[in-house]
């Protein structure tokens, strides 16, 4: 049997594409070497959010006094948290399998390797069998990047995020190398469960790609709470459980010191996974990721790529949107629909959460766009005040100074992850502030801050 489409990788890109194409009546084969759901569902977004929610319950219980509630002898059972996480993941993976089975998609569990490709056909080898398809979609995702730091490899104290999620026990103390999204979410988890945390970030700020004022709110709170955050600090080597660093002081002097902890979590980015694609020697790459056009097509006629492997924006919701667009193009259903990369929301699940969409002030300056910036503290919102005792937050809106269209929104304060989509909608549709002001927000909700700030 010749398939219409072969998909390698069953993460958010792969399973979305498989479902869409199968639903449209096409014969699809999907190869996945591990569980369906990919990094996001199995060792990323969902397990971290499950554990973070448990940690937040514990943290809230131990900080309930500020709401007039006393809870004594509050404790947690990390093994039970892990068990719940596993159950959540298992149910969601089963749900995806069910959806694909309902659409009669052929699922193959094993490592798939491209054997041969022409403009008319692609042959994939998996578990000793050959599969032929008209089109190929590469959704092989990414893997944790291991930086060339002496002493990092084969060191039992060193974890990546997958090791951290699988650990049966909490570490007694932890050093996190890399203050990016993964680093700060794990810092939140461990800190809220009472583990001493040190974060080592090479750049002058944690979460360096986000709005600096928003990040400053988090950094200030976390430092006050006792998280040791070292910025402008480079890891020179690791020996056992000791991390040797050099940091640039304000006087630009290099200071050498070392820190020890039971575990060292390294979270310094991820890289595209090209394993199994060696036969596609003429596929175009940029910095180790597959180059795609606006419709996720590679330079090879019948080969598409979606998700982290494209190195665009490594987020599950980008992957699934890319898959929708790619299938639309392949089936000629929505030939002109492109991905609005300028309106991709992102969330960092710290406490408070950070959520943003569109450009920052810094990016506007780099792009020579004259902007207006409107800011409001989250404490402007009645609902925020009612539910976030002692917390601060910020809503920052970037608009085009000439035509007043909304270009970016940057938020910190719970539960901003739940309403950033409203701002994404405004940025995606190119709404002006006057148009956005016609939208009515329910009162009292924290989302009203958007209405007030815009
Ligand atoms: P990242 O790029 O977000 O952060 C890596 C950080 O490590 C950067 O701040 C960088 O300056 C720092 N760094 C690099 N080398 C270093 C070194 N030698 N010493 C100290 N610091 C160093 O990468 P990540 O946190 O590993 O996340 C990987 C990907 O997964 C990202 O694309 C991220 O967006 C995605 N992700 C998203 C979410 C979410 O949406 N909530 C959650 C987790 C991961």
pLDDT tens profile 351-405: 999 999 999 999 999 999 999 999 999 999 999 999 999 999 999 999 999 999 9
Residue with tokens 């940057």: 410
356 in contact with ligand 1, CB cutoff 6 A = no
| CA-wise closest residue to 406 among 452, 355, 371, 366 | 371
pLDDT above 90 (res 1): no
319 in contact with ligand 1, CB cutoff 6 A = no
Catalytic residue flag (residue 410)? no
- Taking the CA of residue 207 as reference, the ligand 1 atom at the shortest distance is 9
CB-based contact 38:338 (threshold 8 Å): no
pTM, 2 dp: 0.96
pLDDT above 80 (res 250): no
DSSP 16-57: HHHHHHHHTT--EEEEESS-TTHHHHHHSHHHHHHHHHHHHH
pLDDT in tens, 13-63: 999 999 999 999 999 999 999 999 999 999 999 999 999 999 999 999 999
Ligand 1 centroid to Cα of residue 128, in Å, is 37
Q: Look at ligand 1, atom 30, and give the residue with the nearest C-alpha.
A: 314
Residue with tokens 């950094």: 219
pLDDT of residue 333: 81
Residue with tokens 């609902």: 383
Q: Kindly report the number of other CB atoms within 10 A of residue 443's CB atom.
A: 11
pLDDT above 90 (res 452): yes
pLDDT in tens, 192-202: 999 999 999 99
Ligand 1 centroid to Cα of residue 279, in Å, is 30
Lowest mean pLDDT among 66-70, 147-151, 249-253, 262-266: 249-253
339 in contact with ligand 1, CB cutoff 6 A = no
**Separation CA 23–CA 27 (nearest Å):** 10
Q: Look at ligand 1, atom 41, and give the residue with the nearest C-alpha.
A: 348
Out of 104, 116, 443, 451, which one is annotated catalytic?
A: 443
Dihedral class, residue 240 (left if φ above 0, else alpha if ψ from -120 to 50, else beta): left
CA distances from 77 to 52, 57, 82, 96 (A): 13, 12, 9, 29
Mean pLDDT computed over 273-299: 97
- Mean pLDDT, the chain, as a whole number? 96
Q: Look at ligand 1, atom 28, and give the residue with the nearest C-alpha.
A: 269
446 in contact with ligand 1, CB cutoff 6 A = no
Look up residue 170 and give its two tokens: 């909490």
Mean pLDDT computed over 56-75: 97
DSSP SS3 for 129: strand
User: How does residue 255 score in pLDDT terms, banded at 50, 70 and 90?
Assistant: confident
| Cβ-Cβ contacts under 8 Å for 170 (sequence gap 6 or more) | 78, 190, 193, 195
pLDDT in tens, 105-137: 999 999 999 999 999 999 999 999 999 999 999
12 in contact with ligand 1, CB cutoff 6 A = no
pLDDT of residue 332: 87
| φ/ψ of residue 435, rounded to 5 | -70, -40
User: How does residue 337 score in pLDDT terms, banded at 50, 70 and 90?
Assistant: confident
Residue with tokens 């929610």: 53
């Amino acid at each position: 049997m010749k398939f219409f489409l072969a998909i390698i990788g069953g993460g958010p890109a792969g399973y979305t594409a498989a479902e869409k194409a199968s639903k449209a009546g096409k014969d699809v084969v999907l190869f996945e070497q591990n569980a369906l759901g990919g990094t996001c569902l199995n060792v990323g977004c969902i397990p971290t959010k499950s554990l973070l929610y448990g940690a937040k319950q514990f943290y809230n219980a131990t900080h309930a006094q500020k709401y007039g509630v006393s809870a004594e002898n509050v404790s947690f059972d990390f093994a039970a948290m892990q068990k719940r996480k596993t159950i959540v993941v298992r149910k969601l993976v089963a749900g995806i399998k069910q959806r694909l089975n309902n659409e009669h998609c052929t699922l193959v569990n094993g490592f798939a390797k491209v054997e041969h490709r022409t403009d008319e056909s692609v042959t994939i080898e998996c578990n000793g069998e050959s599969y032929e398809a008209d089109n190929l979609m590469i959704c092989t995702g990414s893997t944790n990047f291991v930086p060339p730091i002496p002493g990092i490899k084969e060191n039992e104290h060193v974890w990546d995020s997958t090791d951290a999620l699988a650990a049966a026990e909490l570490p007694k103390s932890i050093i996190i190398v890399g203050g990016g999204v993964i680093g700060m979410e794990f810092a939140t988890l461990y800190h809220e469960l009472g583990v001493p945390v040190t974060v080592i970030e090479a750049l002058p700020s944690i979460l360096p790609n986000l709005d600096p004022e928003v990040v400053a709110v988090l950094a200030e709170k976390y430092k006050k709470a006792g998280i040791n955050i070292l910025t402008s600090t480079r890891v020179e080597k690791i020996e056992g459980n000791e991390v040797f660093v050099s940091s640039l002081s304000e006087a630009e002097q290099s200071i050498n010191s070392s820190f020890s902890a039971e575990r060292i979590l390294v979270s310094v980015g991820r890289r595209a996974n090209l394993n199994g694609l060696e036969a596609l020697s003429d596929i175009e790459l940029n910095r180790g990721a597959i180059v795609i056009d606006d419709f996720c097509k590679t330079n090879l006629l019948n080969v598409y790529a979606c998700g982290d492997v494209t190195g665009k924006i490594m987020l599950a919701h980008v992957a699934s949107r890319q898959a929708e667009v790619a299938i639309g193009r392949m089936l000629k259903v929505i030939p002109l629909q492109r991905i609005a990369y300028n309106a991709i929301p992102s969330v960092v699940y710290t406490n408070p959460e950070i959520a943003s969409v569109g450009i920052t002030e810094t990016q506007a300056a780099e792009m020579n766009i004259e902007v207006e910036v409107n800011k409001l503290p989250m404490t402007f919102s009645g609902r925020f005040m009612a539910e976030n005792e002692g917390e601060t937050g910020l809503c920052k809106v970037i608009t085009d100074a000439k035509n007043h269209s909304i270009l970016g929104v940057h938020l910190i304060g719970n539960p901003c992850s739940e309403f950033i989509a409203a701002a994404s909608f405004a940025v995606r549709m190119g709404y002006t502030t006057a148009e956005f002001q016609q939208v009515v927000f329910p009162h009292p909700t924290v989302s009203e801050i958007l209405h007030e700030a815009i």
